[in-house]
Amino acid sequence: MPLNPKEGGRNRSTLFPEMLETCNKHQKQANTYLHQSHVIMSLRLATRALPRAQPARTFATTTYRMAAGDTGSPRSAAGGAGGDGFSKREKANEDMEIRRREKEKLEALKKKIADSEAQLSKDRAEVDELNKKQ
């Protein structure tokens, strides 16, 4: 069957009107989407090109200094009498944790020494027994 209307056939629009309508609808949606994305991109470019406002810089002749003991003030030199309460508590907790670890290590070493001495006494007893047999 010829599709050309001049040859006595029907054109595509008369064969599949629903399909043609759907295609036209999708084409319109695609064009709308392209237009919207183009507008959005143009707006982004336009806002990037705008000069940004610079914050007003203040002029100060003196700098802010923290008093000893203020929260956030730097720690004092060795000896550590200064600093805020939080710094002192933190240092005390750190020192306590270090002492606890050292105590655990010392206990482990003492146990190792005791085990070694027990093994040494067994070995000496064995050597003495072998010497008596000879």
Q: Above pLDDT 70, what percent of the chain? A: 43
Give the integer Cα–Cα distance in Å for 99 and 67.
31
- Average pLDDT score over the chain: 74
Q: Collapsing DSSP states into helix, strand and coil, what is residue 83?
A: coil
Please report the sign of the dihedral spanned by the C-alpha atoms of residue 62, residue 67, residue 70, residue 72. Answer: positive
Question: Does the predicted model carry a pTM greater than 0.75?
Answer: no
Only one residue has tokens 């295609």, namely: 23
26 inside domain:
no
Within a domain: residue 91?
yes
If one counts the domains in the chain, the total is 1
Domain range spanning residue 124?
85-133
Residue 28 has a pLDDT of 72
Question: Could you tell me if residue 120 is inside a domain?
Answer: yes
pLDDT in tens, 57-80: 666 666 566 665 566 666 555 555
